[in-house]
Amino acid sequence: MDELRIAVVEKADLLCQEYMQREVEGGEFPPYKANGMAYIRFAKEDKELFKLLYMRDRSSESIPETTEQTDKIESIVHDNTGLSGTDAKLFHLEMWAYVHGIATMFATGFFDLDWELVSRMLTDSYQGLRKQYGME
């Protein structure tokens, strides 16, 4: 049964990555924002797979500090903000916590906001963090 669960988790992860790739390639949003919007869309459209990936007990798992995806995101953060190293990681962690909260509320049915509002919320949060880091 563990093998089946692992296979499902791997397939769900690939599906989530496809959401992100489609959103970035769609060009509606800058790449960093597109990744956040895709993450939230995945939570809304594939609730159970989102929960399996991001809302399960992971206390007994070994979670890598960096992955190909996190490296790519941190590179985008650097390109957009000039931040690197610890600052880029913290910036992304703060944004991801916000995006994850919105996604979790979609996945659990807590609310269903329209996409324009979600987009505005992500922009507001991003701009607020930029200001916090001394960027205007």
Number of domains in the chain: 1
| Residue type, position 75, single letter | S
CB 52 within 8 A of CB 9: yes
Q: What is the mean pLDDT of residues 48-72?
A: 85
Question: Quick one: angle between helices 31-45 and 115-132, nearest 10?
Answer: 140
CA 46/CA 67 separation, integer angstroms: 23
The pLDDT score that the predictor gives to residue 1 is 65
Burial of 114 (0-12, 13-18, 19+ CB in 10 A): exposed
CB 32 within 8 A of CB 73: yes
pLDDT in tens, 99-135: 999 999 999 999 999 999 999 999 999 999 999 999 9
Q: What CATH number is associated with residue 28?
A: 1.10.357.10
Question: What range defines the domain where residue 12 resides?
Answer: 2-58+65-132
pLDDT in tens, 20-56: 999 999 999 999 999 999 999 999 999 999 999 999 9
Structure letter (DSSP) for residue 76: H
CA 15/CA 23 separation, integer angstroms: 12
